[in-house]
A and B are shown apart, each in its own frame.
Chain A
Amino acid sequence: MSQSRHSRRNTRGEISSQKSETTTLDEAEDEEKTGALIVLKRGLQVSPELRTGASLTVLMALIVAAGSLAIPVLIQQILDQGLREEGLRSNFIYISCAIAFLIVSFVIFAQRATYNRLVRVAETTILELRVRVFRHLHRLSLADHQEARKGILTARVTSDIETLSQFAQWGAIAWIVDSVIIVGTLTVMAIYSWQLTLVVIAIYLPIIPILKAIQQQQFLKYREVREAVSETLGQASEAVTAAPVIRSYGYQNSIRSKLEKANQNQYRRQIRAHKFFALLAPVMDTFSALSIAGVIVAGSYLGPEMGLTSGEMIAFVFLTTILIAPIWELGEVLDQTQTALAGWWKILSVLDVPIEVHEPESGEKLKTGALEIEAHNVNFRYRTGSQVLDDISIRIPAGTNVAVVGETGSGKTTFVKLLARIADPTSGQITINGVPIHEIDAGSRHSSIQMVPQDGFLFDQTIRENVSFGKPHASEEEIQTAFHSLGLTDWLNKLPDGINTQTGSRGERISVGERQLVALARAQLANPGLLILDEATSAVDPETEVALVSALERLSQGRTTISVAHRLSTAEKADLILVFDQGKIVETGTHQELSTQNGIYADLHNTWMGNTQAV
């Protein structure tokens, strides 16, 4: 049994070593370390059920420790008490063996029961934490959901949680179980001989700085491995996405040698990092041998004087070998612990990000029909401080057909997002039919105001499911009507599976333009009083777009429509044009009025005219 615990020390570590190769999504993000205790305290606040988990683990640790310590004690008892020179004390041997057998069997079942409950508690905690963080992330303002941070947010509920879960399964248990075993073993050892115990501790002490140094190196080297891996993948991604360019320009060989270089570099770094993992084994084995040899030598010189029996001495040797396994395991767990704690802290920090858009308890309901919109001194600023909208005030009467025009970054998209309450203004107020937007009932707002974003995002489902996403109980007839009124029935019927066509991940299986058609139908299904189109037909092919525009014109009766225009032809027909520039509305009016002024709109329009007609 000398190393039966050696065993539980990671069947994992022995085969993995590539444990941290996959990229953590935001190493670049704050590397600042938060004390383990602070993380634990906050973690317990968020997930109080962890207390149950901790006490279960301590219970299990005590059981496991009892099991591994029973055998050396049995050996000592039998050697000293059972094997007397006068002859064999059979009864003593049978009884002590029977007791040991009962203890070992009990441990099997007790460990099974505690571990079962432990896994349940841990997994439930992780599940609840994941759901809670996910919900919080979904409630965050769109400013927190900027494109650049998307990966980081996703990591919080995926890889960070997975790291934490893996830690809960192995590392966290190891800390408690191993500590109890170390303390228990040292206690039993001290009962046999405190002097020899001191010798063992003295021999093991240098292991701590050595382990730490190796861990540190391993950490650094694995970071290099991760960098190399992402470099290789980056190169490979170019080779794949630029396949037509590479082929038609005969660029294969340059790319090949770049790939080879990255590939070789990855290999070299993997080997280099692995060296430290390999080094751990001889270090631990040396200490293990040193401690056994040291105990035998010290015991031989000190033993007779202290009255140490040979049974005690042999038990002591076995206890020494038991000690190495938990120390080794703790050494390997150290690095996992750091990563897990850091990940846990990041997860917990998400919950500290304030939710900015709060829905009213019992809000006002909007009447059906066209909505009147008013913005009073609306400002919008990102948390980083950059001003996106600057003192916007405008009144849009019910039933107006509005075109919003301006350069990229002029704030036009942000403005329409505020109207759909995707975010709230930093200051100022938006009212719908005279009611402040934050006092309107969320359900009523969602059905009366529909926004069709440019990317027409689709879920990996059928077209039907995507269209009824906002209105899950819509009837078949309602859905068909939505397509029909947009003049899309023909298009829909031409698809391989009609309305049941799977759109694929992010809508990949149909073209970008077709995705926009589905997104339009999704909005039309709600028959909203305010329809916001954010360059919603930009990728639709010209033939279809012409038909679509006239359908939307027809539908604009009895609703307010606001279109962020990507073609000025939209603006020509609008009742009202809003021209955005650097976060302000700089011109308002009809096409007739604006094209005669010498402003931004007139400039844009002239360029456009020049190109459609001219040459």
Chain B
Amino acid sequence: MQPPVTEIEGFDKRQFRRGLKLISRSLKLRPFSHAIAITGACLFSIAAVVLTRVLGYATDDVIIPNLDNNALDNRDLWLAFTFIITVGLVRGLGAFLRRYFLAGARYGTELHWRRQLFNQYLDLPMSFHRKKSPGELLAHADNDMMIASLALMPLAFTIGTFFLAIVALVNLFLIHPTIALIALVLFPLLAAMNKTYSQRVVTPASSVQEAVGNTSSLVHESFDGILVVKSLGRGEQEVERLRKSAEKIRKHRISVGRLRAIFEPAIYALPNLGVIALLMIGTWLIDKGSLTIGELVSAIALFGILAFPVRIAGIFFEELPRSVVALDRIDEVLNLESSQHQHQGTNAISAESSTLRIENVEARYDDQLILNNISFSVESGEVVALVGPTGVGKSTIADLVGSLQQPTSGYIYLSNTPLNDIKPSDRTKTLTIAFQESFLFADTVKENILLGRQFTDRELQEATEIAQANDFISRLPDGLNTLLGERGVTLSGGQRQRVTLARALIGNPQIIFLDDSTSSVDPVIEKRILDGLKTRKNISLVIVAHRLSTIKLADRVIFLNNGVIEGTGSHEELMRLEAYASLAKAYEKAGVDS
């Protein structure tokens, strides 16, 4: 059944059409669940109307003959009893079907959307993640998803309500056309009041939501900054800030309350006013002999079941715009084309010895030029240090080499094959990156090193040895099988870096890019790690470093400044460059973390 157009006028029609689209997407995903839920809702409506008729029959055939004329017909009595129970059960069944299968429809839709969302999170290029905060992306999977699917909940009930209105009207017509007339005045009035209420409550209700959200982030901020607040003695001002924000919640809640106070009692009282009219006209019709008392009773009972479903339908129209907006936010991610599928190389490369060559590479971030025409190469077995002031684009090179970002122009070759043409699995086997931020998964130490790849225990052992992680791993409660993260052990910064190092070293990759990945490791241990690495045959290292001791270990230093390579050579040679020398001096002066 299509909702009649009158109900939606006044709502933003475009918004409503998009709401219908949201619903039809869910209908396509879960047609079966929706169909049963809607069937249940209609069954409920029919049973509810039938029950009022049964009450009418019971009045005429059981209650009145028995009490007024003392003529109890046992057969009629038990028939009425059985009927009431049966119809009651059917009504309950209808409600159950609606509620239960609606859950399947709603959560099934969420399941599907969430899966699509997660796939996007995994497959979209790195540039996507660089632009979005994790909190935002998680909100899509959590709160946005819940709100987007919220409008699906009253859907079946709303359809059932329109069905109910029709069944009820037909039923009243069959009882007596005059009585149907009262309903014809009452129904539109009820619908109109509801519509006005729904429309007017949308704005203050969303203001409440917004105010609650603002207050919540204010509290978060205020407690996060408690140290600053306390040391500057700004506590009372923070309290005032909260009061102002919470005042808004109060204000908007009172507005919602005022609307509720105007409309709800009236909406619920309207059927009662109808009942009074029914009694006046009904008794007159009874007196004329064209209506029985039972029919009047059944009409009264029918009026009683109208207000509630109409209210639910109102809520459906209140929720729809919110859901549409939430789904829009999710769609923004879903509609992005994952470029991962476009650059899927197929060429194999030999794992024997590898070289890395960067040719005329230019990279931009948000239109800002980061790397301007950079060219350099790393030969097999060479140790190269990348040095340059903060923000010069050293990590961007790591991103380019790891295919996390595409250069805006220029080429990157791995063993003389363009990076994008290489089979991804071959690329990750040949070249690994240990990132600046050492991320660990809530999994075992072992899985954190393997990351789903197949390596022998011997290789694992060798990797942890070179990464100088053996000592502390063996002291963990379950060694390599110790669970890390929230429900497991927390490692120190230096330990975390060593686990991520082992992750990069395992399986003898030919080129390892260390993006400032030993900054939290004790300098003595760092030296041991680098010494250990150099014992590997044909291994090339690219090191982003801030420690003079690390820089001095390199065969060659590449000095980046202002987006270009300003010099290449040994540390001593580069000291002739003024910019390099002052940077080196700062590194020396700043020294090492104590």
Q: Which chain B residue lies CB-closest to A285?
A: B92
Contact for B424 among A113, A236, A250, CB less than 8 A: A250
Contact for A278 among B103, B227, B307, B424, CB less than 8 A: B103
Do the beta carbons of B238 and A130 come within 8 Å of each other? no
> What are the interface flags for B54-83 relative to A under an 8 Å C-beta threshold, 1 for contact and 0 otherwise?
010011001110111010100001101100
In the bound complex, residues from chain B placing their C-beta under 8 Å from that of A79 are 293
Q: Is B32 an interface position by the 8 A CB rule?
A: no
Do the beta carbons of A150 and B233 come within 8 Å of each other? no
Stretch in contact with the other chain, from B15-23, B176-184, B265-273, B354-362: B265-273
Do the beta carbons of B589 and A546 come within 8 Å of each other? yes
Within 8 A of B (CB), among A449-479: 449-451, 453, 455, 457-460, 469-470, 472
Q: Is A293 an interface position by the 8 A CB rule?
A: yes
In the complex the two chains form, what is the Cα distance from A138 to B305 in whole Å? Answer: 51
Chain B: minimal CB distance from A349 (Å): 17
In the bound complex, residues from chain B placing their C-beta under 8 Å from that of A615 are 527, 549, 552-553
Stretch in contact with the other chain, from B6-14, B108-116, B458-466, B534-542: B108-116
Q: Is A520 an interface position by the 8 A CB rule?
A: no
Q: Is A33 an interface position by the 8 A CB rule?
A: no
Q: Which chain B residue lies CB-closest to A284?
A: B92
Q: Is B225 an interface position by the 8 A CB rule?
A: yes
Q: Is B146 an interface position by the 8 A CB rule?
A: yes
User: What are 15 A-to-B residue pairs whose CB atoms are below 8 Å?
Assistant: A75-B275, A104-B276, A112-B261, A130-B246, A142-B230, A158-B215, A240-B121, A249-B453, A267-B108, A278-B96, A279-B96, A283-B92, A451-B227, A508-B133, A566-B593
Q: Is B479 an interface position by the 8 A CB rule?
A: no
Contact for B88 among A17, A127, A130, A290, CB less than 8 A: A290
Do the beta carbons of B250 and A126 come within 8 Å of each other? yes
Contact for A150 among B96, B215, B224, B305, CB less than 8 A: B224
> What are the interface flags for B382-415 relative to A under an 8 Å C-beta threshold, 1 for contact and 0 otherwise?
0000000110000000010011100000000000
Stretch in contact with the other chain, from B122-130, B373-381, B562-570: B122-130
> What are the interface flags for B203-228 relative to A under an 8 Å C-beta threshold, 1 for contact and 0 otherwise?
00000000010011101111111111
Do the beta carbons of A442 and B233 come within 8 Å of each other? yes
**Known A-B contacts A11-B308, A313-B63, A313-B67; A165 and B275 likewise in contact (beta carbons under 8 Å):** no
Known interface pairs A21-B146, A296-B77, A542-B587; 5 further A-B residue pairs with C-beta atoms within 8 A, sorted by A's residue number: A3-B308, A79-B293, A97-B276, A105-B273, A546-B586
Q: Is B418 an interface position by the 8 A CB rule?
A: no
Contact for A138 among B95, B229, B249, CB less than 8 A: B229
Q: Which chain A residue lies CB-closest to B216?
A: A158
Within 8 A of A (CB), among B247-286: 247, 249-250, 253-254, 257-258, 260-262, 264-266, 268-269, 271-273, 275-276, 279-280, 283-284, 286
In the complex the two chains form, what is the Cα distance from A159 to B115 in whole Å? Answer: 28
> What are the interface flags for A174-203 relative to B under an 8 Å C-beta threshold, 1 for contact and 0 otherwise?
000000000000000000000000000000
Chain B: minimal CB distance from A319 (Å): 12
Do the beta carbons of B68 and A244 come within 8 Å of each other? no
Do the beta carbons of A296 and B594 come within 8 Å of each other? no
In the complex the two chains form, what is the Cα distance from A449 to B232 in whole Å? Answer: 9
Chain B: minimal CB distance from A155 (Å): 9
**Known A-B contacts A8-B268, A130-B242, A612-B592; A88 and B126 likewise in contact (beta carbons under 8 Å):** no
In the bound complex, residues from chain A placing their C-beta under 8 Å from that of B389 are 541, 543
In the bound complex, residues from chain B placing their C-beta under 8 Å from that of A82 are 283
In the complex the two chains form, what is the Cα distance from A249 to B453 in whole Å? Answer: 9
In the complex the two chains form, what is the Cα distance from A284 to B72 in whole Å? Answer: 30
**Known A-B contacts A256-B119, A569-B591; A545 and B233 likewise in contact (beta carbons under 8 Å):** no
Q: Is A300 an interface position by the 8 A CB rule?
A: yes
In the complex the two chains form, what is the Cα distance from A246 to B453 in whole Å? Answer: 12
In the bound complex, residues from chain A placing their C-beta under 8 Å from that of B138 are 233, 236-237, 240
Q: Is A54 an interface position by the 8 A CB rule?
A: no
Do the beta carbons of A116 and B257 come within 8 Å of each other? yes
Do the beta carbons of A75 and B63 come within 8 Å of each other? no
Q: Which chain B residue lies CB-closest to A140?
A: B226
* Chain B residues within 8 Å of chain A by Cβ, number: 165
Do the beta carbons of B63 and A240 come within 8 Å of each other? no
In the complex the two chains form, what is the Cα distance from A612 to B157 in whole Å? Answer: 73
Chain A: minimal CB distance from B92 (Å): 3
In the bound complex, residues from chain B placing their C-beta under 8 Å from that of A383 are none
A interface secondary structure, majority: helix
Interface centre among A78, A513, A604 (most CB of B within 10 A): A78
In the complex the two chains form, what is the Cα distance from A100 to B108 in whole Å? Answer: 49
Q: Is A167 an interface position by the 8 A CB rule?
A: no
In the bound complex, residues from chain A placing their C-beta under 8 Å from that of B224 are 150, 457, 506
Do the beta carbons of A453 and B227 come within 8 Å of each other? yes
In the bound complex, residues from chain A placing their C-beta under 8 Å from that of B88 are 285-286, 288-290, 292-293
In the complex the two chains form, what is the Cα distance from A173 to B126 in whole Å? Answer: 52
Q: Is B290 an interface position by the 8 A CB rule?
A: no
Q: Which chain B residue lies CB-closest to A11?
A: B311
Do the beta carbons of B275 and A1 come within 8 Å of each other? yes
Within 8 A of B (CB), among A323-348: none
In the bound complex, residues from chain B placing their C-beta under 8 Å from that of A70 are 272
Do the beta carbons of A303 and B67 come within 8 Å of each other? yes
Contact for B100 among A275, A513, A519, CB less than 8 A: A275
Do the beta carbons of B239 and A131 come within 8 Å of each other? yes
Do the beta carbons of A607 and B523 come within 8 Å of each other? yes
In the complex the two chains form, what is the Cα distance from A14 to B308 in whole Å? Answer: 10
In the bound complex, residues from chain A placing their C-beta under 8 Å from that of B137 are 236, 240
Do the beta carbons of A607 and B63 come within 8 Å of each other? no
Chain A: minimal CB distance from B513 (Å): 9
Contact for B122 among A116, A256, A293, CB less than 8 A: A256
Q: Is B529 an interface position by the 8 A CB rule?
A: no
In the bound complex, residues from chain A placing their C-beta under 8 Å from that of B345 are none
Q: Is B301 an interface position by the 8 A CB rule?
A: yes
Stretch in contact with the other chain, from B164-172, B324-332, B435-443, B469-477: B435-443
Q: Which chain A residue lies CB-closest to B493?
A: A408
In the complex the two chains form, what is the Cα distance from A250 to B428 in whole Å? Answer: 7
Do the beta carbons of A282 and B390 come within 8 Å of each other? no
**Known A-B contacts A249-B428, A405-B594, A615-B553; A145 and B226 likewise in contact (beta carbons under 8 Å):** yes
**Known A-B contacts A111-B265, A290-B88; A83 and B293 likewise in contact (beta carbons under 8 Å):** yes
In the bound complex, residues from chain A placing their C-beta under 8 Å from that of B133 are 508
Do the beta carbons of A267 and B119 come within 8 Å of each other? no
> What are the interface flags for A91-110 relative to B under an 8 Å C-beta threshold, 1 for contact and 0 otherwise?
00110010011001101100
> What are the interface flags for B147-166 relative to A under an 8 Å C-beta threshold, 1 for contact and 0 otherwise?
00010011001000000000
> What are the interface flags for A469-497 relative to B under an 8 Å C-beta threshold, 1 for contact and 0 otherwise?
11010000000000000000000000000
Do the beta carbons of A569 and B62 come within 8 Å of each other? no
Q: Is A264 an interface position by the 8 A CB rule?
A: yes
Nearest first, the 6 A-B pairs at minimum CB distance are A289-B88, A282-B92, A119-B257, A285-B92, A281-B95, A470-B232
Chain B: minimal CB distance from A439 (Å): 16
> What are the interface flags for A120-142 relative to B under an 8 Å C-beta threshold, 1 for contact and 0 otherwise?
10011011001100110111001
Contact for B77 among A18, A159, A297, A446, CB less than 8 A: A297
In the bound complex, residues from chain A placing their C-beta under 8 Å from that of B439 are 241-242, 244-245
In the bound complex, residues from chain B placing their C-beta under 8 Å from that of A313 are 63, 67
In the complex the two chains form, what is the Cα distance from A139 to B229 in whole Å? Answer: 10
Q: Is A592 an interface position by the 8 A CB rule?
A: no
In the bound complex, residues from chain B placing their C-beta under 8 Å from that of A111 are 261, 265
In the complex the two chains form, what is the Cα distance from A581 to B93 in whole Å? Answer: 71
Q: Is A499 an interface position by the 8 A CB rule?
A: no
Do the beta carbons of B424 and A608 come within 8 Å of each other? no
Do the beta carbons of B315 and A234 come within 8 Å of each other? no
In the bound complex, residues from chain B placing their C-beta under 8 Å from that of A5 are 268
**Known A-B contacts A94-B280, A134-B242; A469 and B228 likewise in contact (beta carbons under 8 Å):** yes
In the complex the two chains form, what is the Cα distance from A112 to B265 in whole Å? Answer: 7
Stretch in contact with the other chain, from A42-50, A304-312, A360-368, A428-436: A304-312
**Known A-B contacts A568-B594, A608-B594; A248 and B404 likewise in contact (beta carbons under 8 Å):** yes
In the complex the two chains form, what is the Cα distance from A284 to B276 in whole Å? Answer: 28
In the bound complex, residues from chain B placing their C-beta under 8 Å from that of A67 are 269, 272
Do the beta carbons of A422 and B231 come within 8 Å of each other? yes
